[in-house]
Amino acid sequence: MRGFPGHLLPRAFFEASPEMVAPRLLGKLLVHRIGTGLLAGRIVEVEAYLGPHNDPPDPAAHAHRGLTPRNQVLFGPAGHAYVYTIYGRYFCMNISCEIEGQAGCVLLRALEPVAGADRMAANRGLDAGAPVRMLASGPSRLCQAMSLTRISHNGLDIASAASPLEVRDDGFTPGEVMVTARIGIKHAVDWPLRFALAGHSCVSGPRGRTATAFVPSKIPSY
DNA sequence: CTGTGGATTTGCT
DNA sequence: GCAAATCCACAGG
């Protein structure tokens, strides 16, 4: 990844509870190296899903009922990709958190394209001139745009410099962050675990959604 | 702008 | 068997 801005986020960044990691991921870069090419986007929207060791447990999380073949990555070390199939035809991309043995993850819901936007559009079946917000606004659109699949990417260590998939910090400082309930779930529908850059055009969902001001406190640097 | 329904695989009960 | 952390097309106001 030499030549690409910023530095690789270390595993320690992810070894905390998802509700702490999630807002800290806003403004970071998701980078996917494909052959000689590069796809990258700034993370503008995320959701936290808590492990079953929490009290009360998070009934919306895949890890809610313990370890299964599908969710085993979530119980492994932090900083690994959890990519799963949803509704038969799409994928969603998460990053595992906590220490090994404890589950928890952050769902990546939207990116602002930074590199390879034309290729993202092609991946999404759109013209090169398509509106930027159509490229990676939504968890499965994000996977389509970034060419992420369960078979190829589930379990990848994204905190390794050898990985084709990384999260990098280029020094971007987020402005106001909004917090809302998570989208598309049927349980714990009002837990405030969705975080997004306020007013950013690439955030998914209806605009003008109810938002609360939120200021992350004591964010360590990595 | 809003609301509705279909596509289609996977994992767990 | 059925529910699911989605997206898209299409109908109607």
- Asked if residue A12 belongs to a domain, the reply is yes
- Asked if residue A200 belongs to a domain, the reply is no
Exposed (0-12), middle (13-18) or buried (19+): which is A187, by Cβ within 10 Å? Answer: exposed
- Asked if residue A217 belongs to a domain, the reply is no
Residue A11 sits in a domain of what CATH number?
3.10.300.10
Rg for chain A, CA atoms, rounded: 16
- Asked if residue A198 belongs to a domain, the reply is no
Cβ contact A70 with chain C strand, < 7 A: no
**Given a cut of 80, is residue A205 above it in pLDDT?**
no
> Mean of the pLDDT values across residues A25-50?
96
- Asked if residue A146 belongs to a domain, the reply is yes
Q: Between residues A103 and A36, which one has the greater pLDDT?
A: A103
Q: What's the total number of domains in chain A?
A: 1
**Can you give the pLDDT at residue A4?**
85
**Can you give the pLDDT at residue A165?**
97
C8 C1' to A43 CA distance, Å? 24
Dump pLDDT digits (tens) for A107-120: 999 999 999 999 99
- Asked if residue A68 belongs to a domain, the reply is yes
> Mean of the pLDDT values across residues A86-106?
96
SS3 sequence of A105-150: EEEEEEEEEEECHHHHHHHCCCCCCCCHHHCCECHHHHHHHHCCCH
**Given a cut of 70, is residue A192 above it in pLDDT?**
yes
- Asked if residue A184 belongs to a domain, the reply is no
Cβ contact A125 with chain B strand, < 7 A: no
Cβ contact A89 with chain B strand, < 7 A: yes
B10 C1' to A217 CA distance, Å? 39
**Can you give the pLDDT at residue A208?**
46
Cβ contact A86 with chain C strand, < 7 A: yes
> Which pair of structure tokens corresponds to residue A35?
């052959």
* Average pLDDT score over chain A: 92
Cβ contact A69 with chain B strand, < 7 A: yes
**Given a cut of 60, is residue A216 above it in pLDDT?**
no
B5 C1' to A222 CA distance, Å? 46
Q: What are phi and psi of A143, to 5 degrees?
A: -65, -40
**Can you give the pLDDT at residue A195?**
95
C4 C1' to A3 CA distance, Å? 41
Cβ contact A163 with chain C strand, < 7 A: no
- Asked if residue A64 belongs to a domain, the reply is yes
**Can you give the pLDDT at residue A53?**
95
**Given a cut of 70, is residue A92 above it in pLDDT?**
yes
- CA–C1' nearest nucleotide, residue A49: C5
Q: Which nucleotides of C are covered by protein (CB under 7 A)?
A: 3-8
Domain that holds residue A41: 7-174
Cβ contact A70 with chain B strand, < 7 A: yes
Give the rounded percent of residues in chain A with a pLDDT score beyond 90: 87
**Can you give the pLDDT at residue A72?**
95
Exposed (0-12), middle (13-18) or buried (19+): which is A209, by Cβ within 10 Å? Answer: middle
Please, are residues A49 and A18 in contact by the beta-carbon 8 Å criterion? yes
**Can you give the pLDDT at residue A3?**
63
B12 C1' to A4 CA distance, Å? 42
**Given a cut of 50, is residue A209 above it in pLDDT?**
no
